[in-house]
Amino acid sequence: HPFGMRKLYKDMCRGKHHNARRIYQDQESIRMEEGRACHRQKALRIPDFSINIMKKIGVIELEGMEFKAYHGCLEQEKVRGNSFTVDFRGELDLSAAAESDNLNDTLNYGEIYDLVAEEMSVPSELLENVAGRIVKAIEKQFPQILSFSVRVSKKRPPVEGVTQWSRVTLYH
């Protein structure tokens, strides 16, 4: 393989070009259809990754959002409540915001917080349900997020023995 493909392959293995595999596969299938490549090795020799070079994929995180909420299966949890922490991590294209310094070009994490707070105020028996509702709301309101995770943690869950946290993490 040419040097560029070796570097691309190494970068893909290290997770540096997360869209490279999809672009590579798309280009390979186009070449196969056009008859220019009869097997995978020929398709590897003509990379065109110019589309992905201009993007600045980044991460926006909100860690340690604290709430008093009434989630749980036991009656005492529904009456007294408990302390919860929610963590959000989202990957998206930050190219425009990196150039413009304008809040309208990025993800407003204040809006993420408000959405999480709204869902945390609705009692649920399971943390999975709380996290699922948060994921669904984020997905609906912020389609520009490429992938994200939400972790909901309950402080000192009611189990026999000492436990600091019970946690559920959902990925989208």
59: which DSSP letter? E
Q: From the candidates 136, 140, 154, 155, which is the catalytic residue?
A: 154
Provide CB contacts within 8 A for 81, sequence distance 6+: 68, 69, 70
**Tokens representing 114?**
């408000």
- C-alpha 133/C-alpha 102 separation (Å) is 29
- C-alpha 87/C-alpha 43 separation (Å) is 42
Determine the angle formed by the axes of helices 20-34 and 3-14, rounding to 10 degrees.
140
Gap between the terminal Cα atoms of the chain? 35
Residue 154 bears catalytic tag: yes
- C-alpha 134/C-alpha 129 separation (Å) is 9
Q: What residues act catalytically?
A: 154
